[in-house]
């Protein structure tokens, strides 16, 4: 077993303000392995930002332990802590660049305390700007850059002291979808190229889906569910997790849109004959390669009317969602369903009365 890069043990944070105590972090345990991309998702106010600030002790816990790079940060004096912070890069939602300094000097600022010569610093800054694709903007000021470019500067700055951990605090939340994607791809690249461990907090499931290998879901200061991205997507346990997943698959909305289509909207549960039923089929991994629908017809003479289909790729593995009306003889229908279940397909009947088609 390798030693994890970050370990939060039973950390707890309470904020007191005007007689009110807010339990921001409620006895949380978190382990992040080296070279992982770990996502923490939750709505605003869930405590994500406070949680990641514990990792570089920008926020001190009321109790618990914070271990990063095999060091218990709470045992360090302020000088040692500052030294260990240099090995933890951080990027921010609003970039937090210094407006009075050029891009070059913003990045060079992070190298201020190092023993590098002036020439070496210059070389390192250009190396970093090249890495994020901004070497031509060295003499510009932050106000002359777009949001995506500013975040790239933030990344270059965060990487200046060659950290092995990068904390991303909603780094893509202020960016448009296209820029978000390019920043996420950059992070993914850095993870691969430099072996950089990334902890990413966000309220966008899209961002998690695009680059994370592990994910934790936060609500009211607690981590309510955690696991590999694949586990979370294929077998979510908590309602909040399901809601977040739904924000990227749009399954609920799709069902509603389907039911509003003219050919279907007349349907009620009674309209579906004894031999017809509507199902949500959910399948992942190897099953996606099987010719399921044609097998249903060949083996059981059950025909499938596909109303909606969606296949997502997660960490290179497919996850599929289908909404179908299956029709066939009742006993054959039953056999078909047990065949699907054997093939690791999750089958869920959709009751039109419950959804309220019409």
List residues near other proteins by CB under 8 A.
Answer: 56, 58, 78, 81-86, 88-90, 92, 94, 96-101, 109-110, 112-113, 141-143, 154, 157, 160-161, 167
Nearer to other proteins, 88 or 352 (CB): 88
Shortest distance in whole angstroms from residue 182 CB to other proteins: 22
Shortest distance in whole angstroms from residue 8 CB to other proteins: 17
Nearer to other proteins, 86 or 222 (CB): 86
Shortest distance in whole angstroms from residue 120 CB to other proteins: 18
- Please tell me whether residue 245 adopts helix, strand or coil conformation: helix
Please report where in the chains the tokens 């790239």 appear, as a residue.
152
Q: Distance (Å, rounded) from C-alpha 337 to C-alpha 286?
A: 18
What contacts 357, CB < 8 A, 6 or more positions away? 259, 264, 265, 267, 268
Contact (Cβ atoms closer than 8 angstroms) between residue 302 and residue 326: yes
Q: Distance (Å, rounded) from C-alpha 228 to C-alpha 247?
A: 18
Nearer to other proteins, 113 or 309 (CB): 113
Shortest distance in whole angstroms from residue 266 CB to other proteins: 55
Please report where in the chains the tokens 């950059």 appear, as a residue.
186
Which pair of structure tokens corresponds to residue 99? 């407006």
Shortest distance in whole angstroms from residue 164 CB to other proteins: 15
Q: Distance (Å, rounded) from C-alpha 173 to C-alpha 51?
A: 18
Shortest distance in whole angstroms from residue 284 CB to other proteins: 38
Contact (Cβ atoms closer than 8 angstroms) between residue 216 and residue 38: yes
Shortest distance in whole angstroms from residue 82 CB to other proteins: 4
Nearer to other proteins, 78 or 273 (CB): 78
Beta-strand relationship, 71-72 and 63-68: antiparallel
Nearer to other proteins, 117 or 143 (CB): 143
Contact (Cβ atoms closer than 8 angstroms) between residue 168 and residue 199: yes
DSSP letters, 96-108, are ---TTS-HHHHHH
Nearer to other proteins, 86 or 122 (CB): 86
Which pair of structure tokens corresponds to residue 174? 């202020």
Nearer to other proteins, 101 or 280 (CB): 101
Q: Distance (Å, rounded) from C-alpha 68 to C-alpha 170?
A: 21
């Amino acid at each position: 077993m390798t030693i994890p890069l970050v370990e939060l043990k039973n950390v707890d944070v309470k904020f007191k303000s005007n007689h009110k105590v807010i339990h921001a972090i409620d006895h949380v345990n978190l382990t992040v392995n080296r070279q992982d991309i770990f996502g923490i998702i939750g709505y605003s106010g869930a405590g994500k930002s406070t949680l990641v600030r514990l990792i570089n002790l920008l926020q001190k816990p009321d109790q618990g332990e914070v271990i990063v790079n095999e060091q218990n940060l709470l045992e360090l004096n302020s000088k040692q802590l500052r030294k260990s912070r240099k090995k933890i890069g951080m990027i921010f939602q609003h970039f937090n660049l210094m407006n009075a300094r050029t891009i070059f000097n913003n990045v060079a600022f992070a190298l201020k305390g190092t023993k590098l010569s002036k020439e070496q610093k210059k070389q390192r800054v250009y190396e970093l700007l090249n890495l994020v694709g901004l070497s031509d903007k060295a003499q510009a000021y932050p106000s002359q850059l777009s949001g995506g470019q500013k975040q790239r500067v933030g990344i270059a700055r965060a990487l200046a002291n060659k950290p092995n951990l990068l904390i991303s605090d909603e780094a893509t939340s202020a960016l448009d979808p296209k820029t978000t994607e390019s920043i996420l791809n950059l992070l993914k690249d850095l993870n691969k190229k430099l072996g950089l461990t990334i902890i990413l907090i966000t309220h966008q499931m899209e961002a998690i889906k695009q680059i994370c290998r592990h994910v934790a879901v936060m609500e009211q200061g607690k981590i309510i569910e955690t696991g590999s991205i694949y586990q979370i997507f294929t077998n979510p346990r908590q309602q909040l997790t399901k809601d977040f997943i739904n924000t990227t698959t749009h399954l609920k909305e799709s069902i509603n849109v389907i039911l509003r289509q003219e050919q279907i909207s007349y349907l009620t549960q009674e309209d579906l004959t004894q031999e017809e039923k509507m199902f949500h089929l959910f399948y992942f991994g190897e099953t996606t390669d099987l010719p399921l629908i044609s097998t249903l017809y060949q083996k059981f003479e059950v025909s499938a009317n596909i109303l909606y289909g969606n296949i997502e790729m997660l960490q290179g593995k497919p996850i599929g969602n289908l909404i179908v009306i299956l029709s066939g003889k009742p006993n054959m229908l039953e056999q078909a369903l047990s065949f699907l279940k054997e093939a690791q397909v999750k089958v869920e009947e959709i009751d039109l009365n419950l959804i309220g088609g019409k």
